[in-house]
Structure 1
Amino acid sequence: MALDQKNVENAEFKEVAAESGNITAQQIQARFETLRDLTEEQMADLNKRLVKKLDWRLMPCITLMFLMNYLDRINVSNARLAGLQKDLHMSDTVWNTGISTFYVGYLIGQLPGNLWLAKADPRWLLPSMMMAWSIGTICMPAMTSGAGFAVCRFFIGLSEAPFFPGITLKNPMRMAIWHAGNTMSNILSGFLAAGILTNMDEVLGLHAWQWFFIIEGAASILVALVGYIVLPSWPHNTKWLSQEETEMAQYRVQVSNGGREEELGGTWDGLKEAAKDPFTWYFCLMHFALVTAQSFKDFLPSIMKTFHFDTLTTYLVQAPPYAIAYAVACGLAYTSGRFQESCLHIVIPILFSAVGCSVLIGTLNVGARYFGLILLISGTYSGLNLQLSWETTLVPAPRSKKAALIAIANCISQVSHWFSPYFFPTSQEPFYRMGGGLILFGCVACVVSAVLIRWRAVRLNKRLDEAEGWSEHTGVERGWRYVY
């Protein structure tokens, strides 16, 4: 149900239609005291000032927070190469169990955390979650066994659970920008590993992997403190917005909701509404499929170790594929928003990912495998970016329903992490074909889910056309429609 990106940016809002009847942008504008008398040009200027103000505060902070969030999630994979598993005397089974417990905590905290976030002030809740997982990271150097590893990862997963869906934005291009935190964390993780894990072993009597967690945890705490100051609250209670800007923010939300006023709604009411909507379960399948297709990420350093580079090079060569993936994600996000199309923007790249995975598990040629890795990462990461934007714009208000949908989809998707680590044992080196098969399954399931979502959106749009008596030949203006 997203508006055209250019319209959103320039405030050239067209008439939209709610399912209960046609509601024009002018009617929505009349609801707000400071906006009702503004001309179209004045509305456009105010919208431009508001978006610029929000972007300069929100996007850098969110991107940096997401960078630290994802860095915290993947840091154990590089620490493993530096001796974490060996120093704690963990077998592959114990190690994989510790990786899985992170996502057990993530799953448990997902739904209640997101339903809470639908009502809580994000300015306080999001940095507080970040502070909690940062403390857990700083505690990891004290681990002495596999059990301690599992406990720490469980707590960190529980703390991180609501953060990722809590910062989901509707606009594909903005999603791509803050999703840069994901990509940059993978790039930065390799550079940090090269700098810390190869130079700080036995400094002050600590292992290099212990310093890795201490430095990352401390940096996350600093970012969380900044978040308390910089992040906005909801549109109606952000203190650093003027009354006119506050009402414009609310106006934008209502326009994107097809004219429906943004309601908090009851927590369980939102959950029930989401559960009854087939879109919820189609997006659950897609999110699960994409996370499954990304199951390689916790083992990427181990996979790249099979390329037989030296240790320093293994850390450094992880960066280029993610840098390319980010450029691809931004390009696809732009064209997706520009042409208001999501299905093919997800399906085509994920097919390239399947090709890349096939190359990776089918040959030992280093150049071919590295190129396959680029295809695999680019398609899956851009797909996840667009899927998150698609699910938050396709489903109407209230906020509690959107929060529930995102939480349900994330909960189900994280189940993949319970079993996917067992598909990448060291006995599978160098091809990791069992893990490759799992990735290919995720790619196929992603295509199926995208087709199902598009099919339902087309059907619902036809019903709206019939209800309004719209056709290309009637001359009736077409109102709000599901975007697919």
Structure 2
Amino acid sequence: MDNKQSSPSLGPDRKSIEKVADVQVLEQVPTTNEEIWIQQYDLLVSKSKEELDALNKKVVKKLDWRFLTTITAMLLMNYLDRINVSNARLAGFQEDGHMTDVQWSAGISLFYVGYIISQVPANVIIAKGQPRFLLPAVMLGWSAVTISMPAIKSPAGFMICRFLVGLTEGPFVPGVALLTSSWYTKQESPLRMGIWHAGNIVSNIISGFLAAGILEHMDGIAGLHSWQWFFLIEGMLSITVAVIGFWGLPNWPDNTGEYFFTAEESQMAQFRMKVSAGGHTEDDQGGYWEGFMMAMRDPFTWMFASLHFALVLSQAFKDFFPSVVATLGFTKMQTYLVQAPPYVIAYAVCLAVSWSSGRFGEACWHIVSCMAVCMAGAVLMISTLNVGARYFGLILLVSGPFLGLNLQLSWETTVVPRPRTKRAALVAFANCVSSVSHWFSPYFFLRHQEPRYVMGGGLLILGCALSIAACLVIRWYAIKKNKALEKEEERTGVINHFRFQT
């Protein structure tokens, strides 16, 4: 935890020293890094602390209302597109596609094969390119595949489409995490990532309601099955949001034009991120390969990859959540609707805990607490057939891993702040490693395990335990790095407010 300060200083405390004899005023020599760094920004250096604070608030407000709103809508569609097959399955998609349980699980796994292949190279390209255009472009790519899915008539068609959806979606979440961490400070990042990452949660709420409206009432319209309408409508919504993305997204703080920020606001955006990153800038060092190799040599990369893997393992239920809910004995319509309350609760918990993490500059114990709750939910799911107890267990189950993933994304992008290509490689590599779990986890939720899904529940418990262990290791290493920074301060006498978040 950063006990040095709760937010970055946004300007020098301009003091002066008067010499009584000749009334000469001399400027005090800068004694903090912030006072030195601001000299690089000609439009900021002459401003008072009050003016700098006001300009900072203006930058954050514009980011929140334009960038954050746009990216949240895009992430909502991203997650909605990823899970739409779960509810389509209840409407007969698997039977109409002539798929066995094993073939269905293979299609689910192939999504993550494509997802892994594209992430690292695409995210490093985005880091040195223009995300304003690249992120909406990949969104148009997966939307086009989604709209083609109503034509699926065989297991092979399902597998190919899911592979292509994964291939086009792969760069998106790591790219969004990278872009968010380039615009928001380490104090602001957890809540903002919580807002857009909660799209993962909200998509499950919306998917249930869409399923109730479309899958139960549109079967046979224009000669199409209801699950075909489900894909068509979601695909068209996704294309609409992607087009809006071309207007709503910025590039990077050092190259976003005045279509988004004024010159003063642009310099403030760069300065505040420089302070947050302990003096490191967004200027990349070297090319694509160099950034990747820098990430591979950093122990944090491997630690966060392990944590990400464990967190994704603990949410292996998400592609089968409607099927798990169906074992509670509700009607099909009720099954669609009762999926929503657990995710509504998880959404509120996600925002509250994300705010707390940013406010106190702490990540480890926040994640550990959430994963302990998730573990309790998995135990309830497999240990009892009481409907009320199992439903409560499902509420606990979804309240942990989604939040853990959000805090983990924020954590890893603050402890490895710069250069951008290194951070891009870390985020994408960790996401790739985590996605490997999807190659085998679908086979833990086959229908012959209903209603308890004991193997699946055991896998979730293992993921929770590994997540807790990984958090403790990362915290230990961050504390070790902070002690080294404190020794350097004592040696040089120069105050550096940056600390590795624990």
Q: Does 1:395 align with 2:412?
A: no
Q: CA deviation at 1:39?
A: 1.1
Partner residue in 2 for 1:420: 441
CA–CA distance in structure 2, aligned partners of residues 352 and 33 of structure 1: 50
Q: Does 1:352 align with 2:373?
A: yes
Partner residue in 2 for 1:7: 7
CA–CA distance in structure 2, aligned partners of residues 373 and 481 of structure 1: 37
State the one-letter code of the partner of 1:31: Q
CA–CA distance in structure 2, aligned partners of residues 13 and 340 of structure 1: 23
Among 469, 476, 488, the residue aligned to 1:448: 469
Partner residue in 1 for 2:202: 184
Partner residue in 1 for 2:225: 207
Equivalent residues in 2 for 1:121-200 (5 A)? 121-168=130-177, 169-170=180-181, 171-200=189-218
Is this contact kept in 2: 1:106–1:160, CA < 8 A? yes
Partner residue in 2 for 1:50: 59
Partner residue in 1 for 2:311: 290
State the one-letter code of the partner of 1:180: A
Partner residue in 1 for 2:345: 324
Partner residue in 1 for 2:16: none
Q: Judge which range, 229-238 or 404-413, deviates more.
A: 229-238
Q: CA deviation at 1:467?
A: 2.4
SS in 2 for 1:204: helix
CA–CA distance in structure 2, aligned partners of residues 209 and 319 of structure 1: 19
Give the length in aligned residue pairs: 473
Q: Does 1:264 align with 2:273?
A: no
Among 429, 454, 479, the residue aligned to 2:497: 479
RMSD: 1.9
Is this contact kept in 1: 2:66–2:249, CA < 8 A? yes
| C-alpha distance 366-65 of structure 1, shift in aligned 2 (>3 A) | same
- Which runs of no fewer than 5 residues in structure 2 stay unpaired? 14-30, 182-188
Q: How big is each residue's C-alpha offset from its partner over 1:193-237, in whole Å with a ceiling of 9 and x where there is no partner?
A: 000000011110000000000000000000000001111111123
- Which runs of no fewer than 5 residues in structure 1 stay unpaired? 15-21
TM-score relative to the length of structure 2: 0.91
Identity %: 55
Partner residue in 2 for 1:439: 460
CA–CA distance in structure 2, aligned partners of residues 184 and 214 of structure 1: 20
Equivalent residues in 2 for 1:244-283 (5 A)? 244-265=264-285, 266-283=287-304
Return structure 1 stretches of 4+ with deviation > 6 angstroms.
Answer: 1-5
CA–CA distance in structure 1, aligned partners of residues 341 and 289 of structure 2: 44
Is this contact kept in 2: 1:292–1:416, CA < 8 A? yes
Higher-Rg structure is: 2
Q: CA deviation at 1:5?
A: 9.2
Q: How big is each residue's C-alpha offset from its partner over 1:391-424, in whole Å with a ceiling of 9 and x where there is no partner?
A: 0111131001100000110010000111100110
Is this contact kept in 2: 1:4–1:340, CA < 8 A? no
CA–CA distance in structure 1, aligned partners of residues 461 and 5 of structure 2: 32
Equivalent residues in 2 for 1:230-241 (5 A)? 230-239=248-257, 240=259, 241=261
SS in 1 for 2:40: coil
CA–CA distance in structure 2, aligned partners of residues 478 and 72 of structure 1: 44
SS in 1 for 2:440: helix
State the one-letter code of the partner of 1:29: I
Q: CA deviation at 1:13?
A: 8.8
TM-score relative to the length of structure 1: 0.95
Q: CA deviation at 1:49?
A: 0.7
Q: Judge which range, 143-152 or 238-247, deviates more.
A: 238-247
Partner residue in 2 for 1:18: none
